[in-house]
Chain A
């Protein structure tokens, strides 16, 4: 990750030389002492697995999806609320599908497609209490903190983050907190 960061610096420096334009933000300095940044949240493989659980309250609803009588509501980076929407004036919670890192979903012929900590996974959901994983493709890296999605590529307000240590498990999310002497930046 440090190497990645150095590469990033070189790239940025090259960009600066070539464009002659100043970047949106000054480049960070290392080492820094206490600074706000992202810290990875780790989980073991078992903790990170996809699991159908009891319904839980909405906290940070994300994207929504309609499939037949079901309404699916993403709980940001936690999973999917499954709601029986047969009567839209009285939607009934059915359960919660824990899918860490989840943002998006799509369903066809009772197969649910979800992003799960960097993987794209197909789940057979005919029986919600017996969900079968039918394919899994590693598609993204989850080892970088979220980018400031509202900024342009060359204007991104960068952030320090605590470098990922694969020994600690899978990264299932990131929290914004105060870091002490972080060694990574994006």
Chain B
């Protein structure tokens, strides 16, 4: 038996080693890319998750990057998009938003379902809020097109904070106080979401087709039928176009 002081030393030493190991995980993490909100693939916790209509297909990423199938989880219906944040997956589905826990990465586990009747919708998450677009045009016969802000502090019971009518929204992206919403032929709308209960429109680009966006460190990447556009949004008051790759005639 070690003297008390030595035991305390061993305990502290062990704790330090454990903490350092955790630190290492984050600093030497894998180099990973970033998708738009319409993605059906997402990489998280050494797994690739694929949203596939009614299931989440789960694949383990081996050390060399190869995939092995870990099975599938029946999730809902009409699952169109998938977004990962920390220990959770957020699925945009035909009838709402599903939240699944990946605390055990091999087996996503149902946490909650946020029902918004019927709409096509991707979802993105930042901090304690989820942002969802509801597109009814060309898609559903009832309801209206909107962007919703949902409070997800309590993941098992998401609550709507606010809702804003937009035209035919598709993909969306959020970075700090800016929310970018694609509206197909209706172009791109930029909202200020500093106050989630009081979202304000900042800008509306109309002369392009907008399908999906990726906000990436001050540069917004946008894809649509009219090509690829990039915008500098580092100065909120002076968002400017950087480039446009057009589609071939």
* A contact set with B: CB distance below 8 Å: 57-68, 71-73, 83, 85, 88-91, 103-111, 113, 115, 120, 122, 124, 134-135, 137, 139-140, 149-153
Contacts and interface: CB of A to CB of B under 8 A. Distances in A.
A61 B59 contact: no
Nearest to A108: B32
A113 B242 contact: no
A88 B230 contact: yes
B228 A124 contact: no
The 8 closest A-B pairs by CB, nearest first: A111-B65, A67-B33, A57-B248, A135-B66, A89-B242, A107-B33, A106-B41, A104-B41
B61 interface: yes
Nearest to B33: A67
6 contacts: A62-B211, A64-B228, A89-B230, A103-B40, A106-B43, A151-B139
Contact of B32 (A63, A107, A149, A152): A107
Given A61-B223, A89-B242, A91-B230, A105 B41 contact: yes
Contact of B94 (A72, A139, A152): A152
Interface stretch (B101-109, B157-165, B213-221): B213-221
B247 A109 contact: no
Given A106-B43, A108-B33, A61 B227 contact: yes
Contacts of A110: 31, 65
Contacts of B41: 104-106, 113, 115
A64 B212 contact: yes
Contacts of B248: 57-59
Nearest to A150: B139
Interface in B33-75: 33-36, 38-43, 48, 50, 52, 57, 59, 61-62, 64-69
B243 interface: yes
How many B residues touch the partner, as a band?
Answer: 35 or more
Given A66-B216, A106-B41, A135-B66, A58 B242 contact: no
A68 B214 CA distance: 13
Interface in B65-97: 65-69, 77-78, 80, 94
Nearest to B219: A88
Given A58-B248, A66-B221, 12 more contacts: A61-B228, A63-B36, A64-B35, A64-B36, A64-B212, A64-B228, A67-B31, A109-B30, A113-B41, A135-B68, A140-B52, A153-B77
Contact of B65 (A83, A91, A134, A150): A134
Contacts of B39: 63, 65, 104, 106
Given A64-B228, A66-B214, A89-B230, A137 B59 contact: yes
A91 B50 contact: no
Nearest to B31: A109
Contacts of B247: 57-61
Contact of A153 (B40, B78, B225, B232): B78
Contacts of A59: 247-248
A27 B150 CA distance: 40
Interface string B93-131: 010000000000000000000000010100000000000
A65 B34 contact: yes
Nearest to B230: A88
Given A63-B38, A103-B40, A113-B67, A58 B245 contact: yes
B223 A63 contact: yes
A110 B61 CA distance: 13
A92 B207 CA distance: 24
Contacts of B50: 104, 120, 139
B143 interface: no
Contact of A124 (B65, B120, B245): B65
A68 B31 contact: yes
Given A107-B33, A108-B33, A88 B139 contact: no
